[in-house]
Structure 1
Amino acid sequence: MSVYIIRPKATSLARSLKLASRKFTPESRPVQVAEVVNFWREDPVHQEIESWLEDAQNATSQVSKHPDYSGITGASIVEMPDDEAQRMREDLHNALILLDQPIELIEPQRNANTKDELTADELWHLDAIALNIARQNGFTGTGKSITIAVLDTGIDSTHSELQGRVTESYSFNDRSKQIQLTTSQDTDGHGTHVAGLICGKQVGVAPETKLIDGLLIPRGTGNLSNFVMWLDWLALRVDVNIANI
């Protein structure tokens, strides 16, 4: 049994919807998501894919779909034998049937030294992006009322820089094939580093930002299929203003 990502090979989605020219707000999100989902539902190849999968599921218990969530990506995540995938390729020439692939963390240079208090020289990154100058000139943006979903290796919500910042934590359940609430944890250290740059008390750019922790790449390695599912899941979260992936 293998996992496959299945969707139409070609689409005019971007030209048809032109969402890039629109303002994205929590209020407009449900309508925009519905517009994209309806586009996929009306796509002839997408309809052929759905019909083929329904017939295959009725014919054998070996073909199973993962949850669609919003359906905004137009992709189906399917677990099935390789010979069924080959049969689908022969039946549906306009469908992309991609064997799941691993995705990995780009390994950063790591410093094992940790400390609670930092010097001004160690906060060089805030000068490098001119944030300190902006603050001195009256900039008051702190990330208040902004929620960012961080899809990474997890976040250590107990870290002194991040206490009170992480509101929810989620991970992919391999058994149920669903994204579920979980206890926050960092499986590698990278996610906490990223979260700290976003809203750490000393090192963060926007220290009042709230975070939703999404464990996309446990211990630095995940799957492309899970990434697609996370995108589908995020489309339902109207409270998320930004996704950091």
Structure 2
Amino acid sequence: MVNLSRHLQRRIEFIRDTAEEEVHEVIVTIKSPDADDDDFTTGLLETLQRRGVSNSARDLLPVSRRFLSDANSDTPRKRNAALEQLKNEDRSLIAYLAQAAPNLTGAAMGALTSAPFAAALQKVVRPAVNMIANSDIVQNAAKLVTNMPGQEPASQPVGFWTSSSVLLKVQDQGLQRLVEDLVSFNMPIQDVFPNQRLSLPPVATPKSVPGTVEDNRISAWGLRSIGALSSWGAFGCRGQNILVGLLDTGVDPNHPDLKGKIAHWAEFDEQGRVVPGSVPHDTDKHGTHCASTICGGDKSGRWIGVAPKAKLAAGIVLNGSRGGTLAQILAGIDWAVERQVDVISMSLGSVELTAEVPPPYTRALSRALRLGIPVVTAIGNSGSQTTGAPGNDILALAVGATDHMDRAAGFSGGRTVVIRDSQFFPANQLPIIYSKPEVSAPGVAVYSSVPGGKWEYLNGTSMAAPHVAGAIALLLSGTKIKQKVPSFQRAGLIQDLLTGSAEELGESGQNHRFGFGRIDVLRALGFARDLGYC
């Protein structure tokens, strides 16, 4: 018999105490086989915590492209001088990432563009995940489930490489034994989670729309508020050549504002498997509304998409009637990363009423960031002092909602959150305390597409997150960041520019209502130009 760590033992007891079924679907995570991963995240965590004590969004603005180029130089003298200066930029994500780059080894060595970097990571991680999935221990546990009355035939366990995890089915009485056996055979088990169910985020149609919102006849008010229209004219950027990953309820491909904009499509079942033969559709209206806020056109008579020339990699991870699962979301992140998207937008989450943050998403978000992909998430619609996961993850770019008068929406979430117990972060860094959200964006009376060639006003942080994803598409299409900045550093630079240029609202610095402020993409592009990124 193996003595499990206190952490694993608590996880198992929690799953067994809270489950209502005799069969558990659990997601088992393994220790990262990539030696760089832990060191990278440790340093990143320190930088994020320093950002949290800034009293102004401007403290977060990135270093100039000249310093970044010097830090990435092949000339040791030039590189070392730049890196020494970057140590003083302790709240800039790009400064940390520039300092971390020379220390990369193993899978990451020399692979600083997204495609080879992703391939290198997969070559290291996938075999470790498959080792668990294909082990006799797991296969025998699956067969025991199959022999139970009313259970379907055993299917191959599903692995998710960005999160280093595997979805397993196991009998209630067999969960403890399964984990003990895996550990006893030196399988690198790190954590275990239930395959949590998520409901469709609550959104609402406002009963009345203020006249000042209706008066925006050329575009939805949100585009004007964040400077999207001005950015089109001043920088000639509309999201061209940018691919946005949208993980949601699907998209209506025949809506006049979205025709021809779905570059990639997938649907995932509740175990995270790709549904064969699926064609683009929306199981609700939520995904279509978010999609058009990112890249919709002007077929309604108003421009509704922040980046109307961007394309979508759209995946169904939530069903309009049944909701979704953690496995579906992890599978969707894998798929989006493999499609080499430039940003991922997720207007979804499970409500968390306590300050304690569940960590099943952290590894996947860390790997996406290392590959240059910011992950934009809604913070949740349950009001002040609540958050939703994955928006409350420390590595997520979480978004709160504002109205047309730059007031925080009453439903918009945000709070101080804490990580007390983690197998991902070193014990000497615990507890980790930080604030959410990072930024805010229009999320009240947002006008956008719904299936059937129609348009509706909706409220929700779900409506705010795609404004930020669209803004990132504009930022990339209006600058040379994608062409000139290594992917390892790209996501940090994007977040520095967006948060550092925000319209500061509420308390100074980061606060629970607005984050660092409401985004202003025109101002972000202006800073990018002045810092040499255009």
Aligned to 1:135: 232
Secondary structure at the counterpart of residue 309 of structure 2? coil
Structure 1 residue matching 2:263: 3-state secondary structure: strand
Larger radius of gyration between Structure 1 and Structure 2: 2
Q: 1:31 aligns with which of 116, 122, 126?
A: 116
2:271–2:327 contact (8 Å) kept in structure 1: no
Deviation at 1:222, TM superposition (A): 0.3
Asked if the contact 1:142/1:205 (under 8 Å) is kept, the reply is yes
Runs of 5+ consecutive residues of structure 2 not aligned to the other structure: 1-22, 45-92, 102-110, 146-153, 209-214, 298-302, 347-534
Change (3 A) 1:182 1:155: same
After TM superposition, the structure 1 = structure 2 runs for residues 188-227 of structure 1, keeping only pairs within 5 Å, are 188-201=284-297, 202-219=303-320, 221-227=323-329
Residue of structure 2 aligned with 1:56, choices 137, 147, 151: 137
RMSD value, Cα? 3.7
Letter in 2 for 1:15: D
Q: Is the 8 A contact 2:232 2:238 kept in 1?
A: no
In the alignment, residue 192 of structure 1 is paired with which amino acid? T
Judged with a 3 Å threshold, the aligned counterparts in structure 2 of structure 1 residues 232 and 100 are, in CA distance, closer, same or farther, namely same
- Equivalent-residue separation in structure 2 for 1:10 and 1:27 (angstroms): 19
Task: Measure how far apart 1:112 and its partner are.
Answer: 8.8
Gaps of 5+ in 1: none
Which residue in the other structure is 1:107 paired with?
A: 202
1:241 aligns with 2:326: no
Corresponding letter in the other structure for 2:332: W
Question: What number of residue pairs does the alignment pair up?
Answer: 233
Pairing 1:4–2:99 present: no
**Equivalent AA in structure 1 for residue 224 of structure 2:** D
Structure number with the bigger relative contact order (C-alpha 8 A, sep ≥ 6) is: 1
Q: 2:330 aligns with which of 208, 228, 234?
A: 228
Please give the TM-score of this superposition, normalised by the length of structure 2.
0.38
In the TM superposition, residue 237 of structure 1 has moved relative to its aligned partner by 1.7
Q: Return closer, same or farther for 1:134/1:28 CA change in 2, 3 Å cut-off.
A: closer
Whether the aligned pair in 1 keeps the contact of 2:133 and 2:157 (CA below 8 Å) is no
In the alignment, the residues of structure 2 paired with residue 216 and residue 105 of structure 1 have an alpha-carbon distance, to the nearest angstrom, of: 10
**Corresponding residue number in structure 2 for 1:78:** 168
SS at structure 2 position matched to 1:235: helix
In structure 1, what is the Cα distance between the partners aligned to 2:289 and 2:196? Answer: 26
TM-score with structure 1 length normalisation?
0.77
**Which one is further off, 149-158 or 90-99?**
90-99
Tell me if the contact between 1:171 and 1:179 (Cα under 8 Å) persists in the aligned partners.
Answer: yes
Deviation at 1:119, TM superposition (A): 5.0
Give the Cα separation in 2 of the matches to 1:147 and 1:2.
37
Preserved contact between residue 249 and residue 282 of structure 2 (Cα < 8 Å) = yes
Conserved? CA contact 1:66–1:178, under 8 Å? no
